Amino acid sequence: MTYKPIAILNVLAGISIALSLVMLYDTLSGPDTMEGREALSFPVSSLDLTERKTFRPLAHSTITLFVFKVGCLYCEESVPLWNTLVADENHIRYGEVMGVSISSQTATLNFIIKNKVKFPVMLVGFEFMEAYRVGGTPTTITIHNGIIKRMVSGKPDTSDMSYLINTHIRSQI
């Protein structure tokens, strides 16, 4: 039995496509797949790019990450909700809110000024998106005691904020 090179290439191409689809499904199968898992450390840069360090979620703290990308309309529309949360005099009791930008430094700085962002922002790379299985923006990730408690993709609304504060944060205080 002889195999034709074209037939072998077609089989290999089919296998490659199948593997790519499996990897894509795994990546896009939803951020909820990370809920309940240990939060991972990831490299971050300061906005002035003078500092590059590793972000490590602490075991005895709560932090909510607002993952955004410049040019994302839902990200821009979400900023007032986040600003309202951080303006609440009790916001420290709920944990820290941190913006996580996957855009360039210049674009991120312009986004912060244009949208009057009132919370700290750090720059991350693709490895963050991959490690946390973030398929799109905006994505909200709540980490409590080093465990991912909730991930929400898409524009958060007041019910998301209410859930964030009442279910995972106030109940832990």
Question: Is residue 2 situated within a structural domain?
Answer: no
The phi and psi torsions of 116 (rounded to 5 degrees) equal 50, 50
CATH number, domain at 40? 3.40.30.10
pLDDT in tens, 52-84: 888 888 777 888 899 999 999 999 999 998 888
Range list of H helices, 5-163: 5-28, 73-87, 91-94, 105-115, 126-131, 158-163
Question: Is residue 53 situated within a structural domain?
Answer: yes
Range of the domain at 126: 33-172
- Mean pLDDT computed over 1-26: 52
Q: Which amino acid is at 152?
A: V
Question: Is residue 20 situated within a structural domain?
Answer: no
CB contact at 8 A, 79 and 115: yes
- Range in 83-87, 88-92, 137-141, 148-152 with the lowest mean pLDDT: 88-92
Tokens 């009057």 — which residue?
A: 116
**Six-digit token string for 12:** 């290999």
Higher pLDDT residue, 28 or 135?
135
Residue 163 has pLDDT above 80, yes or no: no
Number of domains in the chain: 1
43: preceding bond cis by omega (within 30 degrees): no
Question: Is residue 43 situated within a structural domain?
Answer: yes
* pLDDT computed for residue 62 by the predictor: 84
Higher pLDDT residue, 2 or 88?
88
Residue 20 has pLDDT above 70, yes or no: no
Question: Is residue 143 situated within a structural domain?
Answer: yes
Question: Is residue 55 situated within a structural domain?
Answer: yes
* pLDDT computed for residue 135 by the predictor: 86
CB atoms within 10 A of CB 148: 22
Higher pLDDT residue, 124 or 56?
124
Question: Is residue 90 situated within a structural domain?
Answer: yes
**CA 65 – CA 24 distance, rounded (Å):** 24
Strands 42-45 and 52-55 come out as antiparallel
Residue 41 has pLDDT above 80, yes or no: yes
